[in-house]
Amino acid sequence: MYQKQITDCLKSVKQICDEHFALTVKLLKTLPKVSEIAAMTIIAETGGNVNIFENSGKITGWTGLRPRNQETTKVPENIKVPPQPKVTGICA
């Protein structure tokens, strides 16, 4: 039963993205590792407007991709994330 609900939900989100955010989805999918579902999720979470973030560092932090120091048992451990492409002007 829940599989049908998931399928119906994905169809609805895809339809909305196809109608209103087709260019945004296309551009987001050009980024490494961004699938169609990931692109639709980004649009759903941001309302299709990444310009609400002041810069690419802010959106990187919001997504949890910004490198940070993580302390485990009081020993600092560097967490490195590969550089992300600058995301600007992708919203239609």
Per-residue pLDDT tens over the stretch 17-73: 999 999 999 998 998 888 999 899 989 888 888 788 888 888 888 877 777 666 566
Q: How far apart are the first and last CA of the chain?
A: 36
3-class secondary structure, 75: strand
pLDDT of 92 > 60? The answer is no
46 backbone φψ class: left, alpha, beta (φ>0; ψ -120 to 50): alpha
Question: What pLDDT, in 10s, does the model give residues 4-23?
Answer: 999 999 999 999 999 999 99
